[in-house]
Amino acid sequence: LAPVRFDTAVLRAQARAGSIPAVLRGLAPGARPVDTPTVSLRDQLAGVSTTDRDNIVLDMVRAQVAAVLGHSSAAAIEPERAFQEIGFDSLGAVELRNRLSQVTGMRLPATLVFDYPTPAEIARLLLAEFGGDATEPPIEKELTKLEEMLPGIAEPDRRNVAERLRRLLSVVADDGEAESTAERIEAATTMDEVFQMIDTEFGEA
């Protein structure tokens, strides 16, 4: 226990804004938890250019830092300025870790602020974690799903699937190539032969 004088008006204002430190929420009725976005960070980054990805993640980190410190705008947070220089203490460090864990869905270490002492460094950490999936074009994801489903196709459906693949090839290939590829697929007798032709045309995944 420690005798401490709090400005209750400030605590109530922080509670309404959702920026009150977690350890003080019991002192300010009306405090609300961190808002979890309806669209995950991973989905926000999917198919986005590298520059835009960098900005999205950095802006998110700055917004959470601003909320912990009670600022109304992320613009008040300098990306390369150390947390210790802008007023962070151990409680603030824990709250920021908790906020970022909620927003990203990642398990982040309690020492996050000490291991990555600026908003920019935390943003780079998050980008590294999300980098692989974020940079993969949406069409590649769908093709990967299709590739995973093909081995499980039942025998009665295989001819229909082969026909659909032939049509898809005719769309993405040049006219001459489409006709040649389509003819070869029609002549194929097994799905293994069809898959081998697709690999030959487009390269193995």
Query: pLDDT tens digits, residue range 96-113?
Result: 999 999 888 888 988 899
* CB contact at 8 A, 9 and 27: no
Which domains are assigned to the chain? 1-32 (no CATH), 34-135 (1.10.1200.10), 138-202 (no CATH)
Task: State the chain's mean pLDDT as an integer.
Answer: 75
What is the reported pLDDT for 140?
A: 66
What is the reported pLDDT for 52?
A: 83
What is the reported pLDDT for 188?
A: 55
Cα of 167 vs its chain's centroid, Å:
34
**Whole-number Å distance between alpha carbons of 57 and 119:** 10
pTM: 0.50
Calculated CA dihedral for residues 41, 75, 10, 123, nearest 10 degrees? 40
Query: Each residue of 143-155: pLDDT tens digit?
Result: 777 777 777 788 7
Count CB-CB contacts under 10 A for residue 196. 12
Residue 116: pLDDT over 80: yes
- Binning pLDDT at 50, 70 and 90, where does residue 189 land? low
What is the reported pLDDT for 205?
A: 45
Residue 117 parent element (H or E): none
- Taking each helix axis as running N to C, give the angle between helix 191-202 and helix 158-172, from 0 to 180 degrees, rounded to the nearest 10: 20
What is the reported pLDDT for 132?
A: 45
What is the reported pLDDT for 17?
A: 63
Residue 184: burial class (beta carbons within 10 Å; 0-12, 13-18, 19+):
middle
Residue 127: pLDDT over 50: yes
Residue 172: burial class (beta carbons within 10 Å; 0-12, 13-18, 19+):
exposed
